[in-house]
Structure 1
């Protein structure tokens, strides 16, 4: 056990909660937040839960100039019996520390991080929407805070967790989305920061995302940065294809985020004895499979959307309609299983569900 004691300061004036019937993703925040500081020579210290409030930083803080930051995303779910569940939260904390290592940020104590996360969710549990398909989004993140314009790792940091009640990530919900294959820009290259969850990856993807959005496409499908031919991931999701009975997802190559939903889907498919493989897959292979009538389904996976069926790919100005633009049976089965486990409606044979007391 660690020797940390989390201080708790409850707010006096609770916010008025929004209508859960028309929540936008990531626009509303709960009453409290978690904060812990890092100082070189002292380590991580002073963990506390306090009223949600702005953060004051020096204009020279490293985060503003060199982007030394990492973050995570997971959800808390409310069951029909009013129990609060998390889904594999220890995996998020492990990935946070892997991202820390890549960004030269000192790792957090995984035990205290998970304890803080649970306590914060428990305090603000009445913010969890009791509406099907909605949840409480949890955003742990670390920023560098040392006032220093020298290009070197910061000597001080803040680890924070904030909470936001959310509805569907995509306005389409579980209905298929349209994805444009990106041909001009790249998201990451092997040896870069593609497998870390850091802000720069997302900032660098926004231009392509904006362009595809204006053409009516929800996201872009990124190809590898070296040969511009192998599929990597969608902007906010890992991606899977069902080709001639086999489910294929790009292998982790150092430039792809190691998604927790991705990992869970692979384990679920193996549990069901569905053929699934992680390997390099080119956009040309997917195009040929579509032309041959063997591309049966495609879907994205991620915490925000869980499962997002792909009904159309735009590749070299040609529209590849998948499964007649409808949600495929396998994508629906996976979605039902994962959300069933997450919300307590189904048995959890894997031990993925964690109860918040």
Structure 2
């Protein structure tokens, strides 16, 4: 069955089907999953039939065979799971007749930090031995802190209403699109003390917002951890050494990283860092798209305009900055195929995430 004939969304839905099916522990949940995959309207199967109708004539035969195979796999899986759930319900009903009413009540489940919070805490713990402290800032930001102070020009696409949530009732205010405004605020606050401190280094974890459609790898609300170091004669070798150390602390001493040139308005030069895919070991898989590498963060040397905006002399001081997505990091550490699972508050999934520590 050649799934490459199908849209990426359907391929990802098929890959997530076994996990979603196993998570159904009651018939209501199974029926919801059945509606999402094989329902008559709005389901993946319905979209496949629409795709078949509009496909070129020469592709219809092969595409139809793939679609039939996919639907059959879903229907058989649903039917098998339904039989298991019905058998389990009968067994529970039988056991209830022999229940000992004098047994002590069950203890309530113990609470725990959310997996994303634990990943952010883990990232902070990695950098604390290097002298980094945590800075925080508001989620409702000004354009000056979110864009101007980061050397993002007026005509940059990120400033458009198609990408950014602006507050209509409060012109000039928006939901921050990254945690970089915390860097601007921290630099401005600490600039008078920078000489006495001998430099600045900190992390900025938190929630950010962008107008992204919800899918297995995107969400309009997600989390970032950004870091910055400012000192004398800071270069790319300091940045690369720091990040290589952090990735080995996160993924193990055998973690391999590589750096690629890239562009971000607030750094010059800019780069992106990839880590050898921890899921396939570099052999190639769906997560790394067959390349053996996964993009993990963006970074670079702090642009002189960013330092100057904060009142720091770029002729005397230099630095580096980096930022990474917490959800992507959590997906890699836990081998989770769909970031939406982190927001659904399914207690079974959350309990299974103990390995993130």
The two structures have a TM-score, normalised by structure 1, of 0.23
Q: Taking CA–CA contacts closer than 8 Å with sequence separation of 6 or more, which of the two structures ends up with the larger relative contact order?
A: 1
Higher strand fraction (1 or 2)? 1
Larger radius of gyration: 2
The two structures have a TM-score, normalised by structure 2, of 0.23
